[in-house]
Amino acid sequence: MSHPVTEERPVEHGDALNAIRAAVAEAPGPEAAAQRAVDLLRDRFAHYDWIGIYWVDGEELELGPWIGPQPTEHTRIRLGTGICGAAAASGQTQIVADVDADPRYLACFTSTRSEIVVPIFSEGDVVGEIDIDGEELEAFGETDARFLEEVAALLAPLRPRA
Ligand code: SME
């Protein structure tokens, strides 16, 4: 007997997507909604050590809501620069297993070992991205990528200048 191939979404990802959807619906405005989304991700996923949303502003990325142990000095990043700029310029999710082995990496925190950056699209254009730093090597995989791409779709309507 053949079974259709169904992609299983981990329960915690479905729950988190529902919580983000609810937060977006209930927040008083887009910035509060985006902040709530990063807070929820941080609360629910122990390997998401620093989480920020960058929004595209002309030729640069500008840091929006973030949560983590410390602020980053990289509040504006040129498109094409760093792993963040690469994700925005290419529209491709970037998973970096070992930041020290990636020459594109722009260092923010000495504790960071790995990173994932997921573009946020609106009408086919990259309008922002989710950037997550991990303190473990190889903290992120394809399951995180697929999940965060769904989160990105929920965040797209929250961009400034929308
Ligand atoms: N590491 C990023 C810069 C942003 S900080 O991680 C918050 C990069 O290489 O683009």
The answer to whether residue 125 scores a pLDDT higher than 70 is yes
Residues in the chain: 162
- Judge whether residue 14 has pLDDT over 80: yes
Residue 40 has a pLDDT of: 98
Residue 7 in this model has a pLDDT that exceeds 90? no
Which amino acid residue places its CA nearest to atom 6 of ligand 1?
108
Structure-block tokens of residue 49: 């050590």
**pLDDT confidence of residue 4:** 61
Q: Which of 77, 78, 116 to mutate to test the pocket of ligand 1 (most atoms within 8 A of CB)?
A: 77
- What pLDDT, in 10s, does the model give residues 85-105? 999 999 999 999 999 999 999
Judged against a pLDDT cut of 60, whether residue 1 lies above it is answered with no
Burial of 51 (C-beta count, 10 Å sphere; 0-12/13-18/19+): buried
Please give the pLDDT value at position 123.
95
Ligand 1 lining (C-beta closer than 6 Å): 52, 72, 74, 77, 82-84, 105-106, 108, 115, 131, 133
Query: What pLDDT does residue 2 have?
Result: 56
Taking only the tens place, the pLDDT of each residue in 26-68 is 999 999 999 999 999 999 999 999 999 999 999 999 999 999 9
Q: What is the pLDDT of residue 135?
A: 98
From the CA atom positions of the chain, what is the Rg in Å?
Answer: 15
pLDDT of residue 134: 98
State the pLDDT confidence band at 9, using cuts at 50, 70 and 90: confident
Distances (CA, A) of 48 to 51, 130, 140: 7, 11, 9
Ligand 1 atom 3 nearest Cα: 106
Q: Is the pTM of this model over 0.85?
A: yes
